[in-house]
Amino acid sequence: MLRQFGPTEALFILAAARWTIALSAIAFLGGGIGGLAVALARVSPRKWLSRLASGFIQVFQGTPLLMQLFLVFFGANAFGLGLNPWFAAAIALTLNASAFLGEIWRGSIQSVPTGQWEAGTALGLHYGRLMRLVILPQAMRVALPPTVGFLVQLIKGTSLAAIIGFTELTRAGQIINNATFRPFLVFGLVAAIYFALCWPLSLLAAWLERRMAAAHAR
């Protein structure tokens, strides 16, 4: 029996937004750690390490996120690991974010002028200190706008976790729509919440990009 869409249903959807935010935060934090490791491996003078990181990026950028969610969730359960949807979604999104952030940050590292690398080497800095003290601080400034832009895509990408049964914003909308059959109202609210989460970040990314362009123009 269908029920009316009311404040209780709206609050259920709003409450589910916290799981979208939590999943995005975990994937972004884990992806940041993994992405830094991938980026450093990509620019490493060790060829085998660079090729390994390149292969990791190609796999996760060359396959749909939905397939990655399926492989982690159903693959883990097939091997008897019994991952619940929350952990499966967190792992899949973290790996995906690691690949994309790794490539963003690799480009930022390689955008640092060659003279900075040569100057650090001339000062006797070994590779680790050169990266930590000279290259990474400059690269992170360049990487900030696309990193914030990727966070917007990551938040929207969490909606795919609904397919494996994780009750985030989109899944909550599906549950309420099945109970009320008010798709325009329900998914309109879901879309409005996604917009409220993503729009400020999009504005921030655009502002950072303009600021970086103005700094380079001086």
Which tokens go with 213? 């362009």
Whether 218 has a pLDDT exceeding 70, the answer reads no
Average pLDDT on 96-104 reads 97
Chain-centre distance for alpha carbon 93: 7
Number of structural domains the chain divides into:
1
Question: What is the C-alpha to C-alpha distance for residues 181 and 179, in angstroms, rounded to an integer?
Answer: 6
Whether 88 has a pLDDT exceeding 90, the answer reads yes
Residue ranges making up the domain that contains 128:
7-217
Backbone conformation region of residue 84, classed left if phi is above 0, alpha if psi is from -120 to 50, else beta: beta
- Closest residue by Cα to residue 70 from 89, 56, 55, 87: 89
Average pLDDT on 131-158 reads 92
Whether 215 has a pLDDT exceeding 70, the answer reads no
- The answer to whether position 83 is within a domain reads yes
Indicate the average pLDDT of the chain. Answer: 91
- The answer to whether position 1 is within a domain reads no
Q: Around Cβ 133, how many Cβ atoms within 10 Å?
A: 12
Q: How confident is the model at residue 90 (pLDDT cuts 50, 70, 90)?
A: very high
Residue 122 or 145, more confident: 145
Q: How confident is the model at residue 67 (pLDDT cuts 50, 70, 90)?
A: very high
Supply the CATH number for residue 133's domain: 1.10.3720.10
- The answer to whether position 2 is within a domain reads no
